Chain A
Amino acid sequence: MSHTKYEDLMAQRAEIMRQSVGLDYAQYTTGALAFDYERLLTDTGYNVEAAAAVQSHTAVGNTPLVELENVTALVRVVAKPGKGARIFIKDEAANPSGSFKDRRASLSIHEAKKRGYQGVVAATSGNYGAAVASQAAKAGLRCIIVQEAFDSRGVAQPEIAEKTRACEAYGAEVIRLSVGPELFYVFLGVLKDTGYFNASLYTPYSILGIETLGYELAGQVRHQTGRFPDVVIATHAGGGNVTGTTRGLRAAGAVDTEMVAASVDLSGLHMASDHDFNRKSFTTGHTGFSMPFTTWPDRVDVPRSAARPLRYMDRFVTVSQGEVFYITQALAELEGLERGPAGNTALAAAFAIARELNENQVIVVQETEYTGAGKHPLAQLNLARQMGVDVVRGDPKGNKPGERIVIPEHPVQINIVDVDLDHVRRSYLSKAIDTLPKGTHLSDVDFDFLVAETRTNRQYVQEVVDALQRKTG
């Protein structure tokens, strides 16, 4: 990377983005705030069938759906008579690089190759890096992954260290950075210097690639149980998982399935803090991402995010770190599935929600991910202790992110906390209004857009917006 000054490079952001994504986002703008989201997606030419055809070429998708009969039995131990829904899990660890992120990478890499790019770049510290590297290897493209990997003492987050290894195993160059949002600046520099394709997590390709997951899942559940799932739970961070899965469910006809977004509660820890970096035992699927990305999805590395979770979630819940570690252990010892933290976050929430549902109902955890050295409760809890975080058994209500991880003493203590969606919607609208110059007039198109974004109605949006504009003068 050349040593362009921070501000100079950031000023070139729009042009670098346009060249590296090959999409002119400006043509989709329809108002001061509004853009044509559906057309942004459909113009790619991919529907579920077309995406599945690309994915089948690289052995992505068609993963097993496994009924967790013993975990369900455990739910029924702590549920009222007649309660305790059947829990299923979509074993996405069976994808080539070990997670559902292969679905997200597949269409991007396919497009990059089709359009003649020499390589791809992605800014990601998680499974997505390995997915992009794996798909790029198969496609014969060069690959660079930019990670936020270690703190100022040089201590690497163990899960990210494992992702470094995996990306390098697939032949990628991995640029590892210390903590900070200026990762984006380095990322822009790499795009500018290489002219490679920006395999962002938030392009239409990335989201359309997930639709196959929801689509497959709906069909598998119907085949195995005779009904569509009553509830699907997705671990929620940037919003792609919730968005793509729901769209896929709907494409399959599962329009009444309740979509639940689940995140690990890491409230109180700052995402850009060097001090807090290694006091988090989860690197994704946590509130540090899901709150800001739900309330303002366009904070991403492309002009408009195709992941718009507030449009799709029916419910948003959090669980604590200790509850996820507990269920991870239970999944291994009761179902013979040793899997990573991402899907197990949704599984902890599913365990609690299954207790509310009837025995004949079906709840699906829509992903698992691989596990291994670094990417494991033992690695995380050993690091937590090294960082001075207490690890104890007790009531998870005593959990305090960065200070105390409480592993439940009994499955009855696994509970969810509902996030107030009204509060989230108001926060979204507040951020939307904040982006506008003072006195900007919102058209009907903008109001329709905000109604769709928040899944509310004109009156709700009008009232909130009026109140916000009165406040800001």
Chain B
Amino acid sequence: MPNLIDKGTWVEIERIVLAAGERAPQVPDDTQRVPLVMRVKGFLMAAATVGTEVEVVTAAGRVSRGMLREANPAYSHTFGSPIGALAGIGGEVRAMLRDQGRIR
């Protein structure tokens, strides 16, 4: 039995705006082969399970319709691991200014 997500939960929904092959004529082939997908967040208007058609009230107060993707969608963007190719730059440029007597 799939989990029922409560009414009022902050969720993300998804909808296909233009199907693959029905894209604007000027888009390149790789884009033409995939659909134009829209995702928007809002408060779920009635309890539902992921993958079903639902309605949400968005932050602008509008009702938007689509397939329920996820409850409490995370902000998962981050910095990630340090990058070796950047790590040495600070020491190198400081050494150049140290040679000039500009910094300690």
Q: Which residues of A line the B interface, CB within 8 A?
A: 1, 6, 70, 73-74, 77, 119, 142-144, 149-150, 152, 156, 158, 161-162, 164-165, 168, 171-182, 185-186, 193-194, 270, 272-275, 325-326, 329-330, 332-334, 373-374, 376-379, 381-383, 391-393, 407, 410-411
Q: Does B96 lie within 8 Å of A381, measured CB to CB?
A: no
Chain A contacts of B100 at CB under 8 A? 73, 77
Q: Give bound CA distance, A180 to B97, whole Å.
A: 46
> Which residue of A175, A270, A275, A329 contacts B40 across the interface (Cβ within 8 Å)?
A175
Residue with the highest number of chain A CB atoms closer than 10 Å, among B30, B60, B90: B60
Q: Does A156 lie within 8 Å of B77, measured CB to CB?
A: yes
> Which residue of B17, B59, B64, B88 contacts A171 across the interface (Cβ within 8 Å)?
B59
Q: Does A174 lie within 8 Å of B41, measured CB to CB?
A: yes
> Which residue of A173, A186, A378 contacts B17 across the interface (Cβ within 8 Å)?
A186
> Which residue of B26, B37, B58, B88 contacts A272 across the interface (Cβ within 8 Å)?
B26
Which chain B residue shows the least CB distance to A411?
A: B93
Q: Which residues of B line the A interface, CB within 8 A?
A: 17-18, 22-24, 26-28, 30-31, 34-42, 58-62, 64, 75-83, 85-86, 88-90, 92-94, 96-97, 100, 102-103
Chain A contacts of B82 at CB under 8 A? 378
* Count, A-B residue pairs, CB within 8 A: 162
Which chain A residue shows the least CB distance to B80?
A: A382
Chain A contacts of B24 at CB under 8 A? 6, 180-182, 185
> Which residue of B26, B37, B83, B96 contacts A391 across the interface (Cβ within 8 Å)?
B83
In the assembled complex, the CB of B79 is this many whole angstroms from the nearest CB of chain A, namely 4
Given contacts A144-B60, A173-B58, 11 further A-B contacts (CB under 8 A): A70-B102, A77-B96, A77-B100, A152-B34, A182-B17, A186-B38, A272-B27, A326-B89, A373-B78, A373-B79, A411-B93
> Which residue of B60, B77, B81, B102 contacts A173 across the interface (Cβ within 8 Å)?
B60
Chain B contacts of A391 at CB under 8 A? 83, 85
Known: A144-B60, A272-B31, A379-B80. Contact between A174 and B94, CB under 8 A?
no
Q: Does B28 lie within 8 Å of A178, measured CB to CB?
A: no
Q: Does A334 lie within 8 Å of B17, measured CB to CB?
A: no
A sample of 22 inter-chain contacts (CB < 8 A) reads: A73-B97, A142-B61, A144-B62, A168-B41, A168-B59, A171-B59, A173-B60, A173-B62, A176-B38, A177-B17, A178-B34, A182-B23, A182-B27, A186-B38, A272-B26, A272-B31, A330-B93, A373-B79, A374-B78, A377-B86, A382-B80, A407-B85
Q: Does B80 lie within 8 Å of A179, measured CB to CB?
A: no
Chain B contacts of A171 at CB under 8 A? 59
Q: Does B23 lie within 8 Å of A175, measured CB to CB?
A: no
Q: Does A334 lie within 8 Å of B40, measured CB to CB?
A: no
Q: Give bound CA distance, A161 to B22, whole Å.
A: 27
Q: Give bound CA distance, A152 to B93, whole Å.
A: 41
